[in-house]
Amino acid sequence: MPARLRKLDPAALATADTRALVKHYLALLEERAPGRSVEVRVPPYAAVQVVPGVRHTRGTPPAVVETDADTWLAVATGRTTWAEALASGAVLASGERTDLSPYLPLDGEATGGAASG
């Protein structure tokens, strides 16, 4: 069957949609919390550096937040709170300024203050 006539794989579409949404919400976080003191990782899709403070330039960042795509999308859209995601272990956060709750959810109005933690 010619490539242009092949049916699209639903799993591949879901993965592409997830990737696009993760990157979209990480970009919104970059706008809402500009800076380079905390690295937010959503493997395997993307990572960004955000939050005002000491800039990280080499090696392992001193402040890291890591989560899976489903959890990131849930906190970014307000389907779950930052505190709930942390308490459940779905978000791993280490170092200063890793409390992203002042910036979330990204779909609505967040307080936008400097985070510490």
Return the pLDDT at 63. Answer: 93
pLDDT beyond 50 at 116:
no
Using one digit for the tens of pLDDT, what is the confidence trace for 37-96?
A: 999 999 999 999 999 987 766 777 789 999 999 999 999 999 999 999 999 999 999 998
CATH architecture classification, 9-103: 2-Layer Sandwich (3.30)
d(CA 39, CA 57): 11
> Could you tell me the sign of the dihedral formed by the alpha carbons of 59, 38, 33, 43, in that order?
positive
Confidence of residue 3 (pLDDT cuts 50, 70, 90): low
Residue 114: what pLDDT? 41
Which helix (DSSP H) or strand (DSSP E) does residue 18 occupy?
helix 10-32
Q: Where are the beta strands (DSSP E) in the chain?
A: 38-42, 46-50, 64-67, 91-94
User: Are 115 and 102 spatial neighbours (Cβ–Cβ below 8 Å)?
Assistant: yes
Q: Where are the domains of the chain?
A: 9-103
Q: What is the pTM of this model?
A: 0.81
